[in-house]
Amino acid sequence: MGAAIRHLTATNPGGQVFTVNIERDFRYDPYRDFLVCAHCGWSPSLLTTQRIDAMAWEHLAGSHDATAGRTDQENESFRKARWVMLPLCAVLVIALLVVLQS
């Protein structure tokens, strides 16, 4: 399966935290994102116009009664990878500008 790129969590009235992961499958081109609930195996078809995070919140509220303390966190390693890519892209753009001006 894909790599979890985001974690959407919410807390139910009993204080239990529920998590829905957004997994990205890079085997597809363009890649595809999937929603997977870590607690009940819920994994909906995403052939819908609904927003992916709205669906996750709806599931957490509807199936697990978890409506409080919603957090939307990016996966740690995924975030780090982007921090490496960002300066790299900036350097490339600057290099391109220098080449175009000469």
Residue of this chain nearest to Zn ion (CB atom): 37
Q: Rule CB under 5 A: which residues touch Zn ion?
A: 37, 39-40, 42, 63
Q: Which has the closest alpha carbon to 70: 57, 59, 58?
A: 57
Comparison of 24 and 39: residue with beta carbon closer to Zn ion? 39
Nearest-approach distance from CB 92 to Zn ion, in angstroms: 42
What contacts 72, CB < 8 A, 6 or more positions away? 6, 7, 8, 53
Asked if 78 and 31 count as a contact pair (C-beta separation under 8 A), the reply is no
Nearest-approach distance from CB 38 to Zn ion, in angstroms: 8
Nearest-approach distance from CB 93 to Zn ion, in angstroms: 43
